[in-house]
Structures are given as C-alpha cells and as structure tokens.
Amino acid sequence: MTVRATGRWRGIVAVALLFVAVGVLTDRPATLLAGVVGAGLAAYPKLSRPPTVDLELERHLGDARPACGEPVTVTTRVTNTGSHTLADCRVIDGVPAMLSVAGGSPRHAAVLRPGETTEFSYAVESEPGRHQFDPATVIARDITGAHEVETTVAAGTEIQVEDAVPELPIRPQPDGYAGRLVTDEGGSGIEFHSVREYRPGDPIGRIDSKRWARTGELTTVEFREERPASVLLLVDARPAAYRAEADGRPNAVAHCLAGVEQLVSALSDTRDAVGLAAFGRELCFRAPGVGTDHETALWQLLATHPAFDATPPGQVRARGGAEGIGSDDELDRQATLLRKQLGTDTQVVVLSPLSDEHIVETVRTLAASGHTTTVISPDVTAEGSLGQRLARRERRHRLRALRGADVPVVDWDPETPLGTVLLAEEKRRWSA
C-alpha cells in the first residue's frame, strides 16, 4: 500500500498570495478579501486525511470454461467493507496478462459508502490456457484529492479456456519400457494383454484355466503393466524466448505457459509423476511427484514463480530485441544445475519457441545425458521482413537439427489448440 500526497492544491496558494499582494498594494479591500477565498481553498486539502481502504472484490465470469476465441464477460464487484465512505475510489481490474479486453472497460470509479457495492463488467478475448487474474489495483482519494492511497485487492479468479490434451507426448523409455501411462509391456496389471506359454514360476492365479480345461495346455495370461512415468515439464522463459508474432499477440512464453498448464491438468488425471522447471529470470525446479499437495504446489509455482511470468522482462524491448545477449552462460549454469537435480529416469518435455541455438544445444545435451526428451515448440515466426523470414528459416533448421539428434519436436502453430496438434502428431507417428 502506498500513501502519497498529490500536491494538486498547492497552486491555489499562489492565487491567494496574488490577491493578498494586489489587494494590499492597490489598496482594494475587496480584492484582498478574494485572497481569503483563495486561502480557504488552499487550506481545503488540510481538512481531510488519507482514506482507509477496506475493500472486497469478487469476480463473476460469464463462462468460466469458454471455448477458444469466444469473448468472456467478466463482472467485477467491489464492496467497501470499511467504516468510512470512499469518496473517490478508482479500480483497475487485473485482467490476465495474456488476455486482451474485447469490449467495455476494466476500469471503474465510484463513491462507496460503508457496505456499499459497485459493479462493472467488460469482456476479454479468450486465448487457450488457464489464465489467472492479477490483483486489481485500487486508487482511493479523499474528497479533496489531496491524498491518494494505492493498493491492490485480490480475488483468485481464473479463466480456463477449453482445450483438453488427449494424449501426452510421453515416449518409450530407452530401457524398452513404454512410458505411457499404461505400458505395453506384459505384466500383472489389470488390462488383458496376451497369452503366452506357461513358464515355471508364473503365479498360479494367472494360468488360463479355461484353456487348460479345454485343451490341457498350460498357458499364462499376461496383463498390461501399469508403470507410471516421471515427467518434467521444462519451459524456456529466457529473455530470448519472449518473442511474438505481432504487437498485441501473446508471446511465445505465454503460449508455452498455456501449454504447460494444459499438460499439468492432463497429467494430474493420471498416475504419472509431474514436475516443473523453467529456464529464465532464475532457474525454477520442482521434482516430479504425485498427489493433491504436489499438484497444488505446481499451480502455486505457475502462478507466482518469477520464471513463469508471461510478461516480457522490461529490458527486452529496450535493447532493441536483444536476443540472448549475455544469457548463454546463464543458460549453461541453469541447465547444469537442472541436470544435477534431475532423476535419471525422468522424461523431459521442453516447451520452447527455439529462438536461438543455445536452447537447441541445451536440449541436445539433456537428451545425450540419457533423458528421454521431447520438444513442443510454439511457432511465433512470420513471413515479412528479411529478419523475420530469416528467423523462421533458422527455427526450421533448429527443428531439423533436433529431430536429427533423435529428439522429437512437435511444431505447434499457436492458432491451433495444443490438444489437436498433439493428436495429429500421435496419428502421424502411428501411421509412420
């Protein structure tokens, strides 16, 4: 909370002084008297104190899980829970960073008596992913406007734009075990897999008794073995990854975050252990785990960790779009740290726009050190200027270089929902 004196009335002192001086010097009592009015108004701000702000904020979404592209109506209600009237209460709602306002205004000002509620609504565009509202900024002024209290009021609202991920890009582990949530390796699971010849040592319960009765042959029923995978979702949020197709469009990191959020929700419905990591402002790492507490911790990380900030770091633009200046060493440092903490059997799903070679090298090192690695890469390049076309071509080469190193890359056009892209990828792989 910040309390500041605006000083907006100070100029009126000059008016009062002018009248006093002119009145005295020209011997006009009535003009001198106008100085009294000036002085009275100059003293006006001294009559009030900074307001005490006690507010409660609620948001209602027209549709909490809208389809992609549909505008969502947000209705925000602000209630004065304090015991003083707020004469000038200005609210700027915390629209999720990656959503833009499609209609109406997320800003509002109202006079709020104790207990009174004011309401305003506006519409936001929906982009895929799970979007958390930021706390609303509140600026409360006293009636004279001489004091201003700036604070924030939070309400944990989020919009989840519908886009289910049907299949996860989890790959067979090098040891032959399929890493899907139900592995194809025969075992003692619950789902029927195959029947094979009996071998001594097979549990009696798994002998196919019907067949033995019918043919006298001893066979063992094999079930699919469930073997949970351990998956680390790694977001490339280095300054170089904050690139967007056009102004006003979400940047690549925002797309990656939306993707990660979808993957986390999808994976938490399974028995797979999910972990989170990010390269960026600082290294973020949360080892794969299962359970509700772990899941809550992941969402907490996504919402609050500085590395998961979809807003580009301030200096990106100021440096003329400096692409990774001085950040190579930082990336190496973070990658080494990450590899040290990473369990050997953990698969890594990297989400990155592949905006430079350093991340390609990092992924290759990761894959070379034995981690099964997949890359999901939102494409924010465009045809346009020479530089843009070059960047698009460079990215294409990087994809190819990764694929050449046996790292599958899902080329994701963010216009298409990630689920659809992954599904298509799945089909392609089956038919191949």
Q: How far is the CB of 111 from other proteins (least distance, A)?
A: 5
Q: How far is the CB of 81 from other proteins (least distance, A)?
A: 19
Q: How far is the CB of 309 from other proteins (least distance, A)?
A: 10
Whichever of 40 and 174 has its CB closer to other proteins, that residue is: 40
Other residues' Cβ atoms within 10 Å of the Cβ of residue 14: 11
Whichever of 35 and 179 has its CB closer to other proteins, that residue is: 35
Other residues' Cβ atoms within 10 Å of the Cβ of residue 405: 13
Residues numbered 97-126 forming contacts with other proteins, rule: CB under 8 A: 97-111, 120, 125
Whichever of 25 and 164 has its CB closer to other proteins, that residue is: 25
Choose the binding region for other proteins from 54-62, 139-147, 161-169, 408-416 (rule: CB under 8 A).
139-147
Whichever of 66 and 250 has its CB closer to other proteins, that residue is: 250
Q: Which two tokens stand for residue 210?
A: 């019907």
Residues numbered 205-224 forming contacts with other proteins, rule: CB under 8 A: none
Whichever of 8 and 65 has its CB closer to other proteins, that residue is: 8
Torsion of CA 207, 213, 218, 219, to 10 degrees: -50
Whichever of 11 and 203 has its CB closer to other proteins, that residue is: 11
- Asked if 17 is part of the footprint of other proteins (rule: CB under 8 A), the reply reads yes
- Asked if 336 is part of the footprint of other proteins (rule: CB under 8 A), the reply reads no
- Asked if 61 is part of the footprint of other proteins (rule: CB under 8 A), the reply reads no
Q: What is the 3-state secondary structure (H, E, C) of the chain?
A: CEEEECCCCHHHHHHHHHHHHHHHHCCCHHHHHHHHHHHHHHCHHHHCCCCCCCEEEEEEECCCCCECCCCEEEEEEEEECCCCCEEEEEEEEECCCCCCEEEECCEEEEEECCCCEEEEEEEECCCCEEEECEEEEEEEECCCCCEEEEEEECCCCEEEEECCCCCCCCCCCCCCCCCCCEEEEEEEEEEEEEEEECCCCCCHHHECHHHHHHHCCCEEEEEEEECCCEEEEEEECCHHHCCCCCCCCCCHHHHHHHHHHHHHHHHHCCCCEEEEEEECCCCEEEEEECCHHHHHHHHHHHHHCHHHCCCCCCHHHHCCCCCCCCCHHHHHHHHHHHHHHCCCCCEEEEECCCCCHHHHHHHHHHHHCCCCEEEEEECCCCCCCHHHHHHHHHHHHHHHHHHHCCCCEEEECCCCCHHHHHHHHHHHHHHC
Among 58, 63, 150, 328, binds other proteins (CB under 8 A): 150
With beta carbons less than 8 A apart as the criterion, state whether 284 and 310 touch: no
Whichever of 17 and 207 has its CB closer to other proteins, that residue is: 17
Choose the binding region for other proteins from 8-16, 49-57, 172-180, 206-214 (rule: CB under 8 A).
8-16
Residues numbered 292-331 forming contacts with other proteins, rule: CB under 8 A: 311-312, 316-317, 320-323
Choose the binding region for other proteins from 141-149, 193-201, 298-306, 332-340 (rule: CB under 8 A).
141-149
Residues that contact other proteins, how many (by CB under 8 A):
120
- Asked if 271 is part of the footprint of other proteins (rule: CB under 8 A), the reply reads no
Q: How far is the CB of 1 from other proteins (least distance, A)?
A: 11
Whichever of 163 and 323 has its CB closer to other proteins, that residue is: 323
The 228-257 contact track toward other proteins, x by CB under 8 A, reads: --------------xxxxxxxxxxx-x---
- The residues, ordered by sequence, that sit 6+ positions from 136 with a Cβ below 8 Å of its Cβ are 57, 76, 78, 91, 92, 93, 94, 152, 153, 154, 155
Residues numbered 355-384 forming contacts with other proteins, rule: CB under 8 A: 355, 357, 380-382, 384
Whichever of 80 and 251 has its CB closer to other proteins, that residue is: 251
Q: How far is the CB of 386 from other proteins (least distance, A)?
A: 5
The 81-100 contact track toward other proteins, x by CB under 8 A, reads: ------xxxx-xxxx-xxxx
Q: How far is the CB of 52 from other proteins (least distance, A)?
A: 17
Residues numbered 166-205 forming contacts with other proteins, rule: CB under 8 A: none
Among 213, 385, 430, 431, binds other proteins (CB under 8 A): 385
Among 333, 393, 427, 429, binds other proteins (CB under 8 A): 393
Whichever of 68 and 337 has its CB closer to other proteins, that residue is: 68
- Asked if 42 is part of the footprint of other proteins (rule: CB under 8 A), the reply reads yes
- Asked if 128 is part of the footprint of other proteins (rule: CB under 8 A), the reply reads no
Encoded amino acid at 93, one letter: D
With beta carbons less than 8 A apart as the criterion, state whether 78 and 55 touch: yes
Other residues' Cβ atoms within 10 Å of the Cβ of residue 253: 32
